[in-house]
Amino acid sequence: MRILLVDDEVELTEPLSRVLQREGYTVQVAHDGETGHDLAIGGKFDLLILDWMMPGLSGLEMCRQLRKYHLTTPVLFLTAKDTLDDRVEGLDAGADDYLVKPFELRELLARVRALLRRPPIREETQTTTLHYQDLTLDRANQIAKRGSGVIPERTIELSEKEAHILDYLMQHPDQLLTHQQIYDAVWGTSAQPSSNALAAQMRLLRRKVEHDGEAILIHTVYGKGYRFGSPSEAM
């Protein structure tokens, strides 16, 4: 597995690179966003670990640009920013996970392992699209569509994590899904994110799936989890 580590702090990248290499990963290091960007575009990496704040091209802007190029390599942000709004901004830029500095090496390695795990290959007999009312999810291409005869159909581009969450919700319509059930289904049973990470992902997903004039489909069940379905059925 090949990892690209981009951080302008040499005192961090050197020991972290050694730790990752001891775990069996091949690690390439860049100390600025411009170099990291070029390496990410030109190389075949399995994971990108990016510092959020760097001189020149920041990790946040680098991630945005890579997603515009349709590069789907998982991205893990390392940052001192720790508010919910910061997490939302990072996830909205296309990141898959977020680790606040200072962090424990054990947690970082667990998150790296989790991001490098690929979802199981779907059986050929399994449907490639999911439908609920006016919402359709193309599971293979991480694209949803929403619209009907009254409201023109629109295309919704999803991050990998957003697609996994929506996939899980659409497979269980009108059911209460607890936070833990969603963690296990989307993140796996190890290296689970903080509660803020799920809230941030749900906020981003709602922004994309539910526009003005469209029925609300993702409902918060406070203190328990979420329910996907029509308003009348979600009560």
Lowest mean pLDDT among 78-92, 123-137, 201-215: 123-137
Comparing 58-72, 108-122, 215-229, the range with the smallest average pLDDT is: 108-122
Q: Is the pLDDT of residue 162 over 70?
A: yes
122 phi/psi in degrees, rounded to 5: -75, 145
Please tell me the distance from the alpha carbon of residue 200 to that of residue 193, in angstroms, as a whole number: 11
Per-residue CA distances from 174 to 39, 115, 200, 219 (Å): 45, 29, 22, 10
Distance CA(153)–CA(100), nearest Å, equals 39
The pLDDT assigned to 21 comes to 94
Ranges of each domain in the chain: 2-116, 129-234
> Domain 129-234 class?
mainly alpha
* pLDDT classification of 190: cutoffs 50, 70, 90: low
Q: Which CATH number fits domain 2-116: 3.40.50.11540, 3.40.50.2300, 3.20.20.10, 3.10.20.30?
A: 3.40.50.2300
CA distance 124 to 132: 21
Peptide bond into 102 cis (omega under 30): yes
pTM of the model: 0.55
